Structure 1
Amino acid sequence: MDLRPRESSAVFFLLVIFTLSKFSEAQSICSATFAHVIKENNAINAVVTTITAEDGVTARITSQVPEGLFSLDGYNLIAITVLDFETFVEETPHEVNVECTKVGSLSTTLPLKIIVQDVNDNPPAFAKSQYTLNVDELTKLETSVDQIKATDPDKTDVLYYRLDSPEGEFGLLTDFNPSIVVKKLLDYDKVKKITMTLYAQDTQIGSTAEVSHTASTTIEVNIVDIDNRPPWFQPCTEIEFATSKVCLNSGYEGTVKLNEQETGPLSLKPGPVVAIDGDKGRNDAIGYTFLEKTEDPTFQINIDTGSITMLKPVGNAEPIVLTVMAYQKENADQLATTTVILKVVISSNHPPKFVNPSYEGFISEDAGVDSLVLESKTSNRPLRVQATDEDFTNGYNPAIKFEVVDGTDFSITPEGFILMAKTVSPGTVNLQMRVFDTNNDESSTASLAVEVRPGVPTTTPVTTIMTSSIITTDQTTNTQLTASTSTSRPGALTTLPPSTGGLQGRAGEYSAGEMAAVGASLAVLLVLCLIGIGVMARRIKGHNADWKKLSEASIFRSSLGGGSGGPKEGMQYSNDGFQHDEDSGSVNSKLAAHLENKLESGMRRGPPQENMTRSAAPVPHTSSTSPPPDTSSLADSETIDGEKEVKPILTKERRAEEGYKAVWFKTDIDPNTKEDVVIIPDTGEADGDQEEDEDSEDEDNLRTDMDSEDDEI
């Protein structure tokens, strides 16, 4: 049928009106809401919606997608199964078509859309139960190292997170953003692994929601050691400075023999040259080299092991200093240096050896620190170990030292005495001692067994020992008592050493009576000493003048003899010492000039000539350096010379008579001038009171002249 466009439009419009009128008529018999919502996890036969229909209208489900979810109970649309939001696709709601039919009327179909509503019925979940992270040490703070999220089937839920870090090393960016960030400075040497727990919750943390679900996972963080440290020579002392760490090594020491070449690696202390990577977690390979490069080297070092060997003997006895550098083979910028000091020594044929292969000592447990170990149970003599060296003719090597190889309970002094280093319980302590030559480190060992006895005190070491023995003799028992005094450190126990025939016993075992006897003896000795000192002081004071006189006379006589011994008996002195005028600086010439001045002074001020020309009394032959006899005056002295009587005088004339000792001068004196003569004081017995008085007067005059001359000089 060929209809025009205008006519076609009219026909279509009429059809639409007819259809709508029929639908409206159908709708009038039943109706229902187009879309319906039901919560998941519903009860069986729960009503989804109710259809409104006229009387006599029947309803039935003609189709549903998916099948088997809903049913009609009269005009109620019910769910015959439990709906689950997690299996529901929001873009395609469930569809149910319900047909309504009335007799004599048209039937109609109601298309219904069923939407399943989500409820919080599922907990959140992490993809893995454990995560592993690797984080570099010294990572900058607030740096994000990873993000770990959880999922929740309840799509409408918002998840909140919480991180449990043991020491707060890590944290989260926010509570709803699980980005893990660094909160503390990480150090591989301190912490190598950190275990944390991350929690996810579908309600806000701290909320009071009726339903809340939580999930968790474990996070292990491995701290990675980065290459930030150079090699460290071993052994070394680690020192921290802020975030850095250094390791101090004191270097190495060893010995080599002069003009001898060692075979194999050199033995060094505190051990062989070895270095490790300062970044212990990396342990990079280390290389070694000498910094000094010479054309004809004496030593070489192994690039891989650091062992040092000799290429030729050493011909110089001076110490050798080698500088060793250790570096990382993969990163040579990481390096460190140390020194190796080699002492050149002369070879030895014999090492020092202990006198005995083993020693045994005894000490009390309450003796105290620094107490001496004794050589026996019943003696207070300290135990002393000794060593000899056959390279020395007398066996004494001054360069040896002692040490305890193992154990710290006891120590050895340089003299070989054993000291208690700390408190030790009763029992036997077995030690090994070592004696070594400090010049070449040759050594030998010996064993030491120290029995620590309970409750027996022993002596303690003294820093300075000054012993003086005072012996007193009892006339009736002929028993000697020796008292020993010592200066020791504070708190040291002072004991009296045993002496033959005297008091004996171990330290700390003297009875009260023995100690009282010692005290009484010392008191008596002290009183006797004081009395002796008093008597000596009084005699010195009373005879001071006599001592002075004797001293002056001795000096005068010594000057006459030209020597310290004075004039010799039976000899007449000549003036040979005055034969040379140029010898004016000699001692004899000076003495002669001095005596001549005194003679002239004596003649001017002396007594009458007749009293001065008599012969002098004999003078004892006594050295000028020995003390004179104890006399009250020179005139009272007895003649000591014995058979021959010597009469020393000063005169200006030569005399050849026997029994005189004369001193004359270069110029002869005319005997007729009757010059005065000065007579030396008489030391013999006086012939009478008159002669004694005159001699004393002459002596006083001579002394006065000499004192005057001395004052003028």
Structure 2
Amino acid sequence: MAAASCPALLAACLALHLATARGDGCSGFGNLFTEIVENSAHGSLVARLPPPGDAGGGAGLQLCLVGTDAAWFYLDGRSLRLNVSAGRALDREELESPVLMVALTCAEDGSSPVEFRIIVQVLNENDNRPHFQGATVLTHNVSELAPVHSVVFSAQAEDADGDTLMYVIDTASPDARFFRIDLPNSGRVVLARALDFESRRHLEVVVTAVEMNTRERFNASARVRVNVLDGDDQYPQFLPCTPRAPHSPPVCTSPVYTANITEGQLQGGPLSFSPGAVYAEDGDRGLRAAITYSLLAGQESSRFHIDNVTGAITLLRAVESSRQTPEICLSVMASQVNDPSKYAVARALVRVLAPNRHPPRFPRARYRAFVPAAPRRAALLLTFGGQVLALHAHDPDFPEGLNPQVRYTLSHGANQSQQLFQVMPNGLLVAQADQLRPGQSYHLQVLARDEESGETSNTTVELEVLWPGQAAPRDPSEPPPGRGVPAGAVAGGAGALLLLGAVLLLALLALRARRRRRRQQRTADRAALAIEKHPNVSLRWFQPVSGTPQKVRGGGRRVTLL
């Protein structure tokens, strides 16, 4: 039915002229309470008005809908219907109030208008899914010192329908074991196990919000990235750091720093240590607390000074004798400036060396060597006459020129010497004979290095590969054997001379041993006589006739023999 215009008094309302025959008029209406589900279609029935009665005149009625919510409805005869459009749906969540109120005015011809109330409650429909505030990927920062079972962050979701939400952690998340939900409907996330910045700096977990009171059980998920912040829970570590175990937490074993000094000498600056300068840093890599250094008290620590900022160690007083004090062990402590209770201790070993006046030197700058090719893997290098070639660098600073700190190496270079040849600690050269071919030649550079002083010397070995079974040639610098004297006679004469020399040497050694025993007997007799005459006088060092100092012991008493 087409809607008619209202009188000027009701021009703002939606009006409908009803021509009723013998109706009850406006007295048949009253206040009305009804409801409708949100998102209902246009024209949906909201309510039916009372039907006309049997009594009454033929006067017509005018019905109008007025009020702020009147635009949501229209009259179709005696039916109240929903008025929506494609761009304007009835969404309960968009309304200021879920209850719509409309005034229905009724006017009869010749009578004043009467107003009635129509109250429409918009029923909720589960048309909204829960969603988390902000982005779908959330970021939270958590200190590694956060206590276990404490709330570290909160993941809150919203549901426009007002549905009750329950929160769960997805157990398939990479780091779900680190967290748990405090209460199912709170969204507060609790730390389930301790964090460690040094082993894991970033964690990821998925939190899901699920509707509890709906049939659909809509849900939403948020990926939470947790940045683990460094806390002051690590002690200083001396570098270089040696991990205690390959797959364990980064706990370092402190290195032993070593340095060399020379007896009777002072260096112009700090000592040079190996494997590097004395240095420590805070184990908390993200904090890098300042470190201070100190020397722990010891017998010889007063000889040294350590810079409390840099850790550089300087010798203050020279060491007089390397024999009496071959080495000094210092204990270096590194502690945090802001927390002295966090510290670490390392050893610094200072070795006292005798003065080094001569570097090691090879007797010759060049050697000739030979090795026959053979199926065996290893063979020694030979020199002229088939003698084994042994290289020894001479150091005049040591008795007989033998420096135990000299190390021999082959220099990296040509002819693949590192793969085919090797120098032993005793100076012998070994070749992989099965890899060599007759007629080949090699030039090997052998380096001798004093590990204490760092001084080096080198020599060259010119190597020729012989045929299998071929003997090494004789030394061309040796004179050829004499022509008039047979080789056998020469050998026999030399053997006789050697035998005679051996006999004379044995006789001389026996004579010296006999004299030494006699002197010792005379010394013992003099000591016994002195003890008898002077029982309270101590026996001390004396100078026997031979000039060699000896110590004579006698029953706990000592006497000086002049």
Contact 1:59–1:74 (8 Å) recurs in 2: no
**Which position in structure 2 is the counterpart of 1:534?**
none
Instruction: Map residues 263-302 of structure 1 onto 2, 5 A cutoff.
Output: 263-292=268-297, 297-302=302-307
Q: Does 1:220 align with 2:231?
A: no
**Higher-Rg member (1/2):** 1
Structure 1 residue 161, shift from structure 2 partner: 3.8
Contact 2:169–2:205 (8 Å) recurs in 1: no
Contact 1:29–1:102 (8 Å) recurs in 2: no
Q: Deviations over 1:128-168 (max 9, x none)?
A: 22433333336443332122211111123535443464132
Counterparts of 1:198 and 1:448 in 2: how far apart (Å)?
73
Contact 2:366–2:462 (8 Å) recurs in 1: no
Amino acid at match of 2:271: L
**Which position in structure 2 is the counterpart of 1:180?**
189
Structure 1 residue 387, shift from structure 2 partner: 3.0
Unmatched 5+ residue regions in structure 1?
1-24, 459-494, 502-713
Counterparts of 1:184 and 1:450 in 2: how far apart (Å)?
68
Q: Deviations over 1:614-635 (max 9, x none)?
A: xxxxxxxxxxxxxxxxxxxxxx
Instruction: Map residues 555-634 of structure 1 onto 2, 5 A cutoff.
Output: none
Q: Deviations over 1:448-504 (max 9, x none)?
A: 9999x9xx9x9xxxxxxxxxxxxxxxxxxxxxxxxxxxxxxxxxxxx9784789xxx
**Which position in structure 1 is the counterpart of 2:556?**
none
* 1:47 corresponds to which of 45, 48, 58: 45
Contact 2:395–2:403 (8 Å) recurs in 1: yes
Instruction: Map residues 144-183 of structure 1 onto 2, 5 A cutoff.
Output: 144-163=151-170, 165-167=173-175, 168-183=177-192
**Which position in structure 2 is the counterpart of 1:336?**
344
**Which position in structure 2 is the counterpart of 1:16?**
none
The change in CA–CA distance for 1:146 and 1:399 in structure 2 (over 3 A counts) is closer
Contact 2:290–2:337 (8 Å) recurs in 1: yes
Contact 2:423–2:429 (8 Å) recurs in 1: yes
Contact 2:289–2:337 (8 Å) recurs in 1: yes
Counterparts of 2:143 and 2:462 in 1: how far apart (Å)?
56
Contact 1:372–1:383 (8 Å) recurs in 2: no
**Which position in structure 2 is the counterpart of 1:469?**
none
Structure 1 residue 171, shift from structure 2 partner: 2.3
Contact 2:261–2:350 (8 Å) recurs in 1: yes
The change in CA–CA distance for 1:157 and 1:143 in structure 2 (over 3 A counts) is closer
Counterparts of 2:166 and 2:78 in 1: how far apart (Å)?
42
Q: Does 1:441 align with 2:453?
A: yes
The change in CA–CA distance for 1:39 and 1:62 in structure 2 (over 3 A counts) is closer
Instruction: Map residues 513-532 of structure 1 onto 2, 5 A cutoff.
Output: none
Instruction: Map residues 663-674 of structure 1 onto 2, 5 A cutoff.
Output: none
Instruction: Map residues 351-370 of structure 1 onto 2, 5 A cutoff.
Output: 351-353=359-361
**Which position in structure 2 is the counterpart of 1:249?**
254
SS class of match (2:93): helix
Amino acid at match of 1:112: I
Counterparts of 1:192 and 1:363 in 2: how far apart (Å)?
62
The change in CA–CA distance for 1:28 and 1:174 in structure 2 (over 3 A counts) is same
Amino acid at match of 1:184: R
**Which position in structure 2 is the counterpart of 1:671?**
none
Counterparts of 2:443 and 2:94 in 1: how far apart (Å)?
83
Structure 1 residue 250, shift from structure 2 partner: 4.3
**Which position in structure 2 is the counterpart of 1:416?**
427
Structure 1 residue 53, shift from structure 2 partner: 2.5
**Which position in structure 2 is the counterpart of 1:590?**
none
Counterparts of 2:46 and 2:131 in 1: how far apart (Å)?
32
Structure 1 residue 298, shift from structure 2 partner: 2.9
Q: Does 1:70 align with 2:78?
A: no
Contact 2:147–2:191 (8 Å) recurs in 1: yes
Contact 1:26–1:108 (8 Å) recurs in 2: no
Contact 1:277–1:283 (8 Å) recurs in 2: yes
**Which position in structure 1 is the counterpart of 2:202?**
193
Contact 1:29–1:100 (8 Å) recurs in 2: no
SS class of match (1:53): coil
Q: Deviations over 1:209-255 (max 9, x none)?
A: 4x454433332222233323321222343337999874322422211
Judge which range, 246-255 or 113-122, deviates more.
Answer: 246-255
Counterparts of 1:449 and 1:119 in 2: how far apart (Å)?
97
Structure 1 residue 329, shift from structure 2 partner: 0.9
Structure 1 residue 327, shift from structure 2 partner: 0.8
**Which position in structure 1 is the counterpart of 2:312?**
307
Amino acid at match of 1:230: Y
Select the structure with the greater relative contact order (CA < 8 A; seq sep ≥ 6): 2
SS class of match (1:145): strand
Q: Deviations over 1:61-112 (max 9, x none)?
A: 241223422111111111212211112233x721112234556888643310
The change in CA–CA distance for 1:52 and 1:450 in structure 2 (over 3 A counts) is farther
* 1:327 corresponds to which of 335, 352, 357: 335
Amino acid at match of 1:199: T
Counterparts of 1:46 and 1:302 in 2: how far apart (Å)?
90
Counterparts of 1:344 and 1:383 in 2: how far apart (Å)?
34
Counterparts of 2:194 and 2:232 in 1: how far apart (Å)?
16
Structure 1 residue 430, shift from structure 2 partner: 12
Contact 1:135–1:223 (8 Å) recurs in 2: yes
SS class of match (1:52): coil
Q: Deviations over 1:650-699 (max 9, x none)?
A: xxxxxxxxxxxxxxxxxxxxxxxxxxxxxxxxxxxxxxxxxxxxxxxxxx
The change in CA–CA distance for 1:108 and 1:372 in structure 2 (over 3 A counts) is farther
Contact 1:361–1:448 (8 Å) recurs in 2: no
Unmatched 5+ residue regions in structure 2?
1-23, 475-562
Q: Does 1:93 align with 2:96?
A: no
Counterparts of 2:460 and 2:209 in 1: how far apart (Å)?
70
Structure 1 residue 114, shift from structure 2 partner: 1.5
Counterparts of 2:254 and 2:375 in 1: how far apart (Å)?
40
Counterparts of 1:449 and 1:77 in 2: how far apart (Å)?
117
The normalised TM-score by structure 1 is 0.50
* 1:80 corresponds to which of 80, 83, 94: 83
Counterparts of 2:423 and 2:272 in 1: how far apart (Å)?
25
Q: Does 1:118 align with 2:124?
A: yes
SS class of match (2:67): strand
Counterparts of 1:224 and 1:313 in 2: how far apart (Å)?
49
Contact 1:256–1:343 (8 Å) recurs in 2: yes
Structure 1 residue 287, shift from structure 2 partner: 0.8
Contact 2:167–2:181 (8 Å) recurs in 1: no
The change in CA–CA distance for 1:353 and 1:231 in structure 2 (over 3 A counts) is farther
Amino acid at match of 1:124: P
Note the aligned Cα RMSD (angstroms).
4.7
Contact 2:61–2:108 (8 Å) recurs in 1: yes
Contact 1:194–1:222 (8 Å) recurs in 2: yes
Contact 1:199–1:215 (8 Å) recurs in 2: yes
**Which position in structure 2 is the counterpart of 1:142?**
149
The change in CA–CA distance for 1:280 and 1:441 in structure 2 (over 3 A counts) is same
The normalised TM-score by structure 2 is 0.62
Structure 1 residue 367, shift from structure 2 partner: 6.6
Contact 1:433–1:448 (8 Å) recurs in 2: yes
Counterparts of 1:105 and 1:292 in 2: how far apart (Å)?
116
SS class of match (1:68): helix
